[in-house]
């Protein structure tokens, strides 16, 4: 099954921001495109808006004048659904209400031919449910574009329970012919991206609700240590707190209120107060004229130790040994077993967080980093009883490496580590349940939400038991089940352990 021929008309129903974006993608790819909207005049306005964007593409040398003129000639607005009768593909981008979408597709089925591919751009509803009332449900698929559709490359091609494999293949190949990067997935709540991405928001909110760090500090640690393009609080302000919470609530409900996807009371209160983010002028941050953006908590300068003793293997933080030497701090290696640690001259210990609480006056945890050399900020965590000199020495050590230091509360797994571990866990669970392949999950998370690594790439880097062990420790301290490792992650870690056992 191949992509739709470029001579085949494509229709887009619903002419809001997403509908216009999808129409522009199909139009620039070379299809005749027809726009329809139930509100009189909206389709014509959308056609004018798309024409203006084509003009800007010419100004930026992304289209020639001739290509723009040809595209405009292929774009028409439809006054009724009957005008879509000869279309080979109709993509719906109307309001996220199941009854509205079902009614629309029943009406479309009375108009288009039985070989017309019907697609929904829903991000939160069941594709199976939307297409469930159709006479020919096998030609119905999900084509989930990401906003803005002309710029973001990812498209999730979602097969409902009744979707014909040939229809999914045609949709996949068509999206690829349009210059997109499609991934295939089963019809489960959140598909790939909105399912696997929930912990990025949830763990930041959990750390904040535990009063371990403020939003600005959590965001800075996620960006400057975790390598994420934006922190969770600034990203939800950009998305819209109401939109982000609605998706979270929808996924949670669709999974029968599975605690792993539970919404946040703190975010609920923000939405109830009308602080929806950038669009309302206030969210976690204040965007009103003259408002100052709060900075992250950053520790004052401290003296670096003259030397450290490194015992055992630091695992994901092994790169720190070379960085410490480069900073002029003497490193005295010692043999050791188990998890590695850095011992300061006063006998205090620094360890990469393992999901346990520090719980000792002689121990400081540091957070995971995507790349310890490139990281510009490191988070430290200690119990309230920690010796002041130890925390100061740990701070000075990382400052000697050129890092800003944020001291956060003693929350299990800290910030980056618990976030990455939960993302890995949900990715393994999704693959085990047949939602998508590991390769498609990694592609979706890198392209759909700009993660620095896909979950399986993270797992290969950190080790096959790292996420399981860290989440198991967090679960001991927070036994709600939210952070309990999935059966899929346990199986994967156990398989790795068996492969590493001498025969």
What is the C-alpha separation between 431 and 447, in angstroms, rounded?
18
| CB 297, CB 214: distance < 8 Å | yes
What is the C-alpha separation between 359 and 48, in angstroms, rounded?
63
Sign of CA dihedral 253, 259, 261, 263: positive
156 is catalytic: yes
Q: Which residue has the tokens 């539970």?
A: 262
CB atoms within 10 A of CB 383: 16
What is the C-alpha separation between 227 and 220, in angstroms, rounded?
10
Q: Which residue is catalytic, options 77, 121, 123, 225?
A: 123
Q: Which residue is catalytic, options 77, 124, 167, 194?
A: 194
What tokens were used for 424?
A: 């890995």
- H-helix segments, 178-231: 193-196, 198-209, 215-224
341-343 and 307-313 strand pairing: antiparallel
DSSP result, 11-47: EEE--SHHHHHHHHHHHHHT--EEEE-SSTTHHHHHH
244 is catalytic: no
Residue from 255, 192, 228 nearest 438 by CA: 192
Q: Which residue is catalytic, options 31, 77, 124, 144?
A: 144
Question: Taking the mean position of all CA atoms in its chain, how far away is CA 62?
Answer: 29
Task: For residue 251, count CB atoms less than 10 angstroms from its CB and return exposed for 0-12, middle for 13-18, buried for 19 or more.
Answer: buried
| CB 415, CB 387: distance < 8 Å | no
What is the C-alpha separation between 343 and 323, in angstroms, rounded?
16
Q: Which residue has the tokens 């130790």?
A: 305
194 is catalytic: yes
Question: Taking the mean position of all CA atoms in its chain, how far away is CA 23?
Answer: 25
Q: Which residue is catalytic, options 156, 245, 311, 404?
A: 156
| CB 22, CB 149: distance < 8 Å | yes
Residue from 384, 423, 424 nearest 407 by CA: 384
How is residue 118 annotated by DSSP?
A: E
Question: Taking the mean position of all CA atoms in its chain, how far away is CA 396?
Answer: 34
φ, ψ of residue 339 in degrees (nearest 5): -65, 140
| CB 460, CB 438: distance < 8 Å | no
| CB 308, CB 329: distance < 8 Å | yes
What tokens were used for 197?
A: 């991405």
φ, ψ of residue 123 in degrees (nearest 5): -110, -15
Annotated catalytic residues are 123, 144, 156, 194
């Amino acid at each position: 099954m191949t992509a739709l021929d470029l001579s085949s008309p494509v229709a887009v129903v619903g002419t809001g921001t997403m509908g216009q974006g999808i129409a522009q993608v199909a139009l620039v790819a070379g299809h005749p495109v027809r726009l329809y909207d139930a509100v009189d005049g909206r389709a014509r306005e959308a056609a004018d808006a798309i024409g203006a964007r084509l003009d800007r593409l010419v100004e930026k040398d992304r289209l020639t004048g001739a290509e723009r003129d040809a595209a405009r000639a292929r774009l028409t607005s439809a006054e009724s659904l009957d005008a879509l009768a000869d279309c080979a593909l109709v993509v719906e981008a109307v309001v996220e209400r199941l009854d509205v979408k079902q009614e629309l597709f029943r009406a479309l089925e009375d108009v288009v031919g039985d070989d017309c591919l019907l697609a929904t751009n829903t991000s939160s509803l069941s594709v199976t449910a939307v297409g469930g009332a159709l006479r020919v449900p096998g030609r119905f698929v999900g084509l989930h574009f990401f906003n803005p559709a002309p710029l973001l490359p990812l498209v999730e091609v979602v097969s409902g329970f009744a979707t014909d494999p040939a229809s999914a293949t045609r949709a996949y190949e068509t999206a690829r012919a349009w210059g997109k990067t499609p991934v295939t997935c089963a019809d489960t709540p959140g598909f790939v991206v909105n399912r696997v991405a929930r912990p990025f928001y949830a763990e930041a909110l959990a750390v904040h609700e535990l009063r371990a760090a403020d939003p600005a500090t959590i965001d800075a640690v996620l960006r400057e240590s975790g390598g994420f393009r934006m922190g969770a609080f600034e990203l939800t302000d950009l998305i819209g707190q109401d939109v982000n919470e609605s998706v979270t609530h929808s996924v949670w409900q669709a999974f029968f209120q599975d605690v792993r996807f539970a919404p946040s009371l703190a975010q609920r209160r923000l939405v109830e107060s009308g602080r929806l983010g950038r669009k309302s002028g206030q969210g976690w941050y204040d965007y009103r004229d003259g408002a100052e953006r709060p900075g992250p908590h950053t520790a004052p300068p401290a003296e670096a130790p003259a030397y450290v003793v490194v015992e055992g293997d630091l695992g994901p933080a092994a790169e720190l040994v070379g960085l410490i030497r480069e900073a002029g701090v003497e490193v005295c290696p010692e043999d050791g077993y188990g998890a590695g640690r850095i011992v300061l001259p006063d006998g205090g210990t620094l360890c990469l967080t393992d999901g346990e609480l520090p719980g000792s006056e002689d121990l400081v945890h540091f957070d995971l980093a995507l790349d310890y050399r490139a990281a510009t900020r490191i988070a430290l965590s200690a119990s309230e009883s920690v010796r002041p000199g130890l925390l100061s020495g740990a701070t000075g050590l990382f400052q000697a490496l050129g890092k800003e230091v944020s001291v956060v509360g003693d929350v299990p797994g800290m910030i980056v580590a618990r976030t990455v571990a939960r993302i890995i866990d949900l990715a393994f669970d999704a693959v085990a349940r047949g939602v998508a392949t590991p390769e498609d999950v990694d592609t979706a998370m890198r392209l759909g939400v700009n993660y620095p690594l896909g979950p399986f790439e993270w797992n290969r880097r950190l080790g096959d038991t790292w996420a399981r062990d860290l989440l198991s420790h967090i679960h001991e301290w927070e036994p709600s089940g939210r952070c309990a490792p999935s059966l899929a992650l346990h199986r994967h870690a156990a398989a790795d352990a068996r492969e590493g056992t001498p025969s």
